[in-house]
């Protein structure tokens, strides 16, 4: 326990995870300014690596610098012309800084880093032999000798998976669910559920689709059709079936794709069994 110093170029930021790994300690936290002042007798703005009585861990860019300027461990004073080999006593050198947009690749120096937002959907924890040794969980190697298994934990966040899917599949109206992740495959939107033939067609279609293995939602609310349409767009269920009295009189219902907004009339009830086939074509859209 105690203070250590991490050293990076002035326009860089230290990555605490990288510093912790380089130090090889169990935990590492940024020290509060009052603690630093108490331990060193100096305000943070004038601390420097030359002659400091702390272990110093330097980023790999630091040895490449010359004639540097740094704090002199004295109030209102800085040092100039600092040289790494001559002036610094460094415990270890390693990769300590955060990556910035446009930085060269650390492996080949040809490529450049691009920064993109992301969501951690899954993670892996390496447990090593800690539990396998205590549980005597072993395997036989190619020499026939027992060795403890190397264990790991693997987790996938259901909520994060949904969030990642929505972030990549949405528009100004709402969610556009990919078919495999959608809570329902089809939503039935009756134009006026209080009209007998509309209600009967909606309920019959709902039951038939479930019999066909199609996960279906029936919007049986008495709200205006505009409200139902808006909510259906927001929910993002892949296929909408719109049932209205005018189309029913002609033996038709309307099917509409949420992703493209394209719609067409199909015969009713003859074409209802074709809905699973329509959904099958959506799997790759």
Q: Based on the fold, state whether residues 88 and 9 are members of the same structural domain.
A: yes
Q: Is residue 104 part of a domain?
A: no
85 and 151 housed in the same domain:
no
pLDDT of residue 78: 93
**What are 187-197's pLDDT values in tens digits?**
999 999 999 99
For 164, left (φ over 0), alpha (ψ -120 to 50), or beta?
Answer: alpha
With a cut of 70, say whether residue 285 has pLDDT above it. Answer: no
Mean pLDDT of the chain: 93
Rounded Cα distance, 31 and 38, in Å = 11
CATH code at 44? 3.90.960.10
Listed residue (175, 285, 281, 162) closest to 237, CA to CA: 175
**pLDDT, tens digit, 9 for 90 and up, residues 223-256:** 998 999 999 999 999 999 999 999 999 999 999 9
How sure is the predictor about 142, in pLDDT bands with cuts at 50, 70 and 90? Answer: very high
pLDDT of 283 reads 53
DSSP labels, 19-85: HHHHHT-S---PPPHHHHHHHHSS-GGG--STT-SSEEEEETTGGG--SEEEE-SSTT-EEEEE-HH
270 with 215, same domain: the answer is yes
Model confidence band, residue 107 (pLDDT cutoffs 50, 70, 90):
confident
Q: What are phi and psi of 216, to 5 degrees?
A: -125, 140
CA–CA distance, 255 with 264 (Å, rounded to integer): 6
Q: How many domains does the chain have?
A: 3
- Domain with 129, as residue range(s), is 123-158
Q: Are residues 135 and 210 in the same domain?
A: no
Does the structure show a pLDDT above 90 at 133? yes
Strand partners, 71: 78
Predicted local distance difference test score (pLDDT) of residue 2:
87
pLDDT mean over 139-156: 94
Which three-class secondary structure string do you get for 216-278? EEECCCCCCHHHHHHHHHHHCCCEEEEECHHHHHCCEEEEEECCCCCEEEEECCCCHHHHHHH
Q: For 32-90, what is each residue's pLDDT tens digit? A: 999 999 988 888 888 999 999 999 999 999 999 999 999 999 999 999 999 999 999 99
CATH value at residue 194: 3.40.50.800
Q: Say if residue 184 is in the same domain as residue 277.
A: yes
| Per-residue pLDDT at 220 | 95
Question: Is 240 found in the same domain as 195?
Answer: yes
pTM greater than the 0.95 cutoff: no
Q: Give yes or no: residues 136 and 214 share one domain.
A: no
- Residues recorded for the chain: 285
Q: What does the buried/exposed string (b/e) look like for 121-137 if buried means 16 or more CB atoms within 10 Å of the residue's CB?
A: beeeeeeeeeebeeeee
Would you say residue 111 lies in a domain? no
- pLDDT, position 276: 94
8 has a pLDDT exceeding 50: yes
Q: 116 in a domain, yes or no?
A: no
């Amino acid at each position: 326990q105690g203070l250590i110093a991490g050293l990076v170029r002035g326009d860089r930021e230290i990555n605490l995870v990288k510093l912790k790994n380089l130090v090889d300690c169990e935990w590492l936290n940024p020290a509060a300014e009052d603690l630093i002042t108490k331990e060193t007798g100096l305000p943070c703005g004038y601390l420097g690596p030359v002659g400091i009585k702390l272990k110093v861990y330097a980023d790999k860019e630091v040895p490449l610098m010359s004639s540097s300027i740094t704090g002199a461990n004295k109030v209102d004073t800085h040092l100039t012309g600092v040289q790494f080999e001559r002036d610094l006593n460094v415990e270890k050198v390693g990769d300590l800084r955060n990556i910035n947009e446009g930085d060269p690749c650390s492996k080949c120096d040809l490529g450049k880093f691009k920064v993109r937002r992301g969501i951690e959907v899954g993670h892996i924890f390496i447990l090593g032999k800690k539990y396998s040794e205590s549980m005597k969980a072993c395997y036989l190697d190619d020499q026939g000798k027992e060795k403890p298994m190397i264990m790991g934990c693997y987790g996938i966040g259901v909520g994060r998976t949904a969030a990642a899917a929505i972030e990549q599949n949405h528009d100004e109206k709402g969610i556009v669910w990919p078919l495999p992740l959608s809570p329902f495959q089809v939503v039935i939107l009756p134009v006026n559920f209080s009209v007998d033939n509309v209600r009967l067609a909606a309920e019959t279609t709902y039951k038939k689709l479930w019999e066909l293995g199609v996960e279906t939602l029936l919007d049986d609310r008495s709200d205006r059709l505009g409200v139902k349409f808006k909510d259906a767009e927001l929910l993002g269920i892949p296929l909408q079936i719109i049932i209205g009295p005018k189309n029913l009189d002609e033996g038709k219902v309307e099917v509409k794709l949420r992703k493209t907004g394209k719609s067409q009339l199909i015969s009713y009830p003859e074409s209802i069994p074709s809905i699973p086939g329509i959904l099958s074509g959506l799997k790759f859209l």
